[in-house]
Structure 1
C-alpha cells in the first residue's frame, strides 16, 4: 500500500450516494478540474488528512453494518492510491462505487479489469465547445474514452450533469442527451441542480430552477 494521506475526510453514512446500498463516502482531496459550480472547494483546493491506515481503522468498525464505500472527491482517480485502496476495500467485503469526472480512463479501466468497481457515476460536464468554460480543463477526450470503457463493461453506471442556466441551456442539454444516445448509452441521465446554499469555486449565484429542467431531474436516453 502506497504511503500518503489522499483522503480529506469520511462521511460515515449515506443512503443517497450509492443506489440501494448503505454506504460511507471517502472524500479524496484535489481535482484536475475547476468547475465554477463545485460546492466542495475545501476538498478540491485542500490537502488530504487521512491515510489508508486511518481509513481501514474506520472501515473495520463498519463491517456488517455498511454495504459499500463511495470513492468521491475532488477527483478520486488522480490518486495512485485509489487502486490499492479499492483492492483492500473489496477484500474487506464492501462494494465500491466510484464518482468520477472521467479524466483518467486508464485508472478507470484498471479498476474495472480487476473487478474493483460495482457502480460508477460519471460526470458529463458539457460538450467540447463549452467544456473549458465549465471545467477550466481540456479533458473532454479522456471523458469520452471513460464513457466508452463503461459502455463496454458490465459495471452499472449513471451519467450526471450539474445544471446552471449561465452554463448550460436547453439546447445544449438536448445536444448532450442526443450525443449520449449516439454513443450507445441507454441508462439514466441525471440532472443535478446547482446548489447555491454553499460556497463554490466560482461566482455563480443562486437562481430559480430553469424551466427546461424536468421536475424529477432525470432524462432517460
Structure 2
C-alpha cells in the first residue's frame, strides 16, 4: 500500500487509547483548508502491512488508526492492515470522507474495524464547491455508513471542521439534524496556519466560545457532542461544558 507517514504513538486519535496512526497517500477530495494535503499527495512510500507494524511503537500502542488522505482508495491494503491488526489484538479505527460506502461496509461486516470516523465537510448544498463531490451523493453515503455501523455495533463518529466565512450556524444545524443517529458528533477548530490553500490561511479561526455555541446547536439533535480545539476537547452536556485538556491537534 502507499503510505505517506506513520505516527508511532498518539494519545488523541483513538479515544481513551494510545494508538499508532498510519496516513495513507492520495485523496479524492481537495479541501483548501486541509493541513495534510501536501504530505499525502507528494509523499508516498510503498509498504506492506508487516512493514507498517515494524514502524509502530508496539510497546505502548494499544490501537491502530488508519487515516489519510482517503484510506478507502486503497481497499486491499487497508483490509490487509486491519486483518493484521486484529491478529495482534489491536482495535482499529478508520477515518474516511464517506465516498466509498462498500469499502466501509466490507470492513465493518467482517469485524475488521471497531470505530469509524466520517468527515462531514459542510452543508450538503456547499459540498460541490468545497470538495468537488456532489452533496446529495455524499449525504446518502454518510447516512448509509451510519446505518451500517449501527447495525453492526461499530462506534460511528461524524465530525466537521468549522470554517468561518465558508460556514455558519445553519451548516451545523443541517448537518446535525441529518446525522442525528451517529454515536458522536465533533465540531473541530479550523487550523488556518497550516491550511493547504493561501485563501484559507487568510480566514480567521473561530474562538473556543464561538465553537461551544455551535456545539449547543448540535446538541439539540445529537446527545453526544464534543468541540475540539487546539486548547482541548470540550463535551457539551446541556448547559455544562466539560473540558478535557488534551492539546488536541485536528488531524483532518
Quote the Cα distance in structure 1 between the aligned partners of 2:51 and 2:11.
Answer: 23
Contact 2:191 2:205 in 1 (8 A): no
TM-score, normalization by structure 2: 0.77
User: Could you say if the C-alpha distance between residues 169 and 215 of structure 1 is closer, same or farther in structure 2, counting changes exceeding 3 Å?
Assistant: closer
Paired residue secondary structure (1:99) = strand
Unaligned runs of 5+ in 1: none
Greater mean deviation of Cα atoms: 118-127 or 136-145: 136-145
Looking at structure 2, the residues matched to 137 and 153 of structure 1 have their Cα atoms a distance apart, in angstroms, of 27
Q: Is the CA contact (8 Å cut-off) linking 1:39 and 1:201 kept in structure 2?
A: no
CA contact (8 A) 1:197 1:206 kept: no
Q: C-alpha distance in 2, partners of 1:71/1:7?
A: 10
CA distance in 2, matches of 1:126, 1:198: 19
CA RMSD, aligned part only? Answer: 2.1
Deviation at 1:93, TM superposition (A): 1.8
The partner residue of 1:119 within 115, 124, 131 is 115
Work out the CA distance in 2 between the residues paired with 1:73 and 1:173: 24
Compared CA separation, residues 131 and 202, structure 1 to 2 (3 A): farther
Secondary structure of 1:137's partner?
A: coil
Instruction: Specify whether residues 14 and 198 from structure 1 end up closer, same or farther in structure 2 by C-alpha distance, changes over 3 A only.
Output: same
User: Secondary structure of 2:157's match?
Assistant: strand
User: 2:2, 2:45 within 8 Å by CA — same for their partners in 1?
Assistant: yes
Change (3 A) 1:215 1:66: farther
Higher relative contact order (CA 8 A, sep 6+): 1
Count of aligned positions: 212
Aligned to 1:166: 165
> What SS does structure 2 have at the residue aligned with 1:17?
strand
Q: Which residue in the other structure is 1:11 paired with?
A: 7
Pairing partner for 1:25 from 12, 16, 21: 21
TM-score by length of 1: 0.87
Query: Does the CA-based 8 Å contact 1:17-1:70 persist in structure 2?
Result: yes
Alpha-carbon offset, residue 201 of structure 1:
4.1
1:213 alignment partner, SS class:
helix
**Helix, strand or coil for the counterpart of 2:122?**
coil
